[in-house]
Amino acid sequence: MPAPSLRQLAQKLDLSHTTVSEALRGSPRVKPATRAKVLKVARELGYRRNPLAGALMSEMRRSRAGTFRGVLAVLDLDGPEGRPAGPSRYHKELTKGATKRAEELGFKADVFVVGKAGLSLERLDTILHSRGIGGIFLLPVKETPDLTRLDWTHFSGIYSDYVIERPGLHAICPDHYRAMLTALDRLRALGYRRPGLVLGAAHDARLLHRWEAAYHAYQTHHDGMTRLPPLVASEVGPRDFAQWFRTVKCDVVLAHSPEVKTWMEEAGARVPETHGFCCLNVMNTTAPCAGLDLQPRLLGARGIELLIGQVLRHECGAPELPMTTTLPAAWVDGPTVKGGGA
């Protein structure tokens, strides 16, 4: 029978992963009775601590490793061809954050493109296995991702978006719900009381309607805010937008596409004099604009840290309980809202 992992040992003891780890290290923060129990069960089950993993995790906490540890894969499942400019910039920032942090921790992160012009998943599986690459950092995928054709008995994985079920991996992504609250808080402080929201239906569904849910909740629980129906459609165009805009009479619009600002002006708005515009992802625009920085470079760095931890603990395949780690967005002032600066 193979020796248990630290996570399996923690499950057996019904203790947290952290408590068991500290007990095995002799930390004074663990009660003597608990430590004795952990050591006893560890001996009975044949648990063996990996000294290399412990040493490298210590180096990770010091933020820099001085020795080469291995190679990780940054996987672009869709491929860059045909990707809009905004998502393309977002993917590049994610990749920069991931590769830089990997290097700081002693790893090299190589980018692998699947897509129409890239590798097949079967060929990718062969390459990763032959090169001894055990960690995969998956960039966001437009449609529902499916990586079941890879042999996950050899790989650990992190998905940098909300949901992946084939297989069900751990994920890291922006906290979209909290991001919407952040944006509305800022807009409310600037004097806006009738915010309008424009979303693509597929985008909204892919993120489990978190943007929309936070939008409704904020207006319900904050006095003085007028609750307006959002514009959510499979394809939002200027004609549908103009009709919605004139009907709801919002004083600020939140949307992902900077094109919406142009539609506002075509419908008679003067930004920011009469109406404000907030971009829900400033990676989508190259012009100065108020909105949200979803911090993709930081997201990539934190995702690689989580992936390296899995690799060092030899945690391959789909975990029993996939978890999602979220990072807050940052508000960016800009000239598209009143008081936002030039």
Question: Tens digits of per-residue pLDDT, 147-191?
Answer: 999 999 999 999 999 889 999 999 999 999 999 999 999 999 999
155 and 196 co-located in one domain: no
110 and 252 co-located in one domain: no
In a domain, 249, yes or no: yes
On whether the CB atoms of residues 226 and 215 are closer than 8 A, the answer is no
144 and 193 co-located in one domain: no
77 and 212 co-located in one domain: no
In a domain, 336, yes or no: no
165 and 187 co-located in one domain: no
The pTM of this model reads 0.78
**Structural Rg of the chain based on CA atoms:** 24
117 and 196 co-located in one domain: no
In a domain, 1, yes or no: no
84 and 163 co-located in one domain: yes
Closest CA to 156 of 329, 306, 300, 278: 306
94 and 14 co-located in one domain: no
- CATH number of the domain where residue 186 is located: 3.40.50.2300
311 and 181 co-located in one domain: no
Q: Going residue by residue through the chain (342 aa), what tens digit of pLDDT does each one get?
A: 566 777 788 888 888 878 888 888 777 778 888 888 888 888 888 876 654 455 455 545 554 545 778 999 999 999 888 889 999 999 999 999 999 999 999 999 999 999 777 889 999 999 999 999 999 999 999 888 999 999 999 999 999 998 899 999 999 999 999 999 999 999 999 999 999 999 999 989 989 999 999 999 999 999 999 999 999 999 899 999 999 999 999 999 999 999 999 999 999 999 999 999 999 999 999 999 999 999 999 999 999 999 999 999 999 999 999 999 999 999 999 999 998 765
14 and 150 co-located in one domain: no
In a domain, 59, yes or no: no
122 and 265 co-located in one domain: no
- CA distances to 7, 113, 216, 247 from 211, rounded to whole Å, are 34, 30, 9, 22
The number of distinct structural domains making up the chain is 3
- CATH number of the domain where residue 33 is located: 1.10.260.40
- Residue 126, number of CB atoms within 10 A of its CB: 13
Q: Find the Cα–Cα–Cα–Cα dihedral 56, 60, 62, 63, rounded to 10°.
A: 140
On whether the CB atoms of residues 291 and 335 are closer than 8 A, the answer is no
On whether the CB atoms of residues 327 and 302 are closer than 8 A, the answer is yes
In a domain, 58, yes or no: no
On whether the CB atoms of residues 260 and 253 are closer than 8 A, the answer is yes
Alpha-carbon distance of 179 to 120, in angstroms, equals 36
Closest CA to 299 of 179, 217, 218, 152: 179
Last residue of a domain, one of 249, 273, 293: 293
Scanning the chain, the segments in alpha helix (DSSP H) are 6-13, 17-25, 32-45, 51-61, 85-104, 121-130, 176-189, 201-206, 210-221, 238-248, 259-266, 296-312
124: phi then psi, degrees, rounded to nearest 5 = -60, -45
DSSP class of 290: -
Alpha-carbon distance of 266 to 235, in angstroms, equals 18
In a domain, 138, yes or no: yes
Using the structure block, give the residue that is written with the tokens 């992802």: 281
Residue-range definition of the domain harbouring residue 18: 6-49
Alpha-carbon distance of 48 to 43, in angstroms, equals 8
105 and 146 co-located in one domain: yes
In a domain, 63, yes or no: no
In a domain, 65, yes or no: no
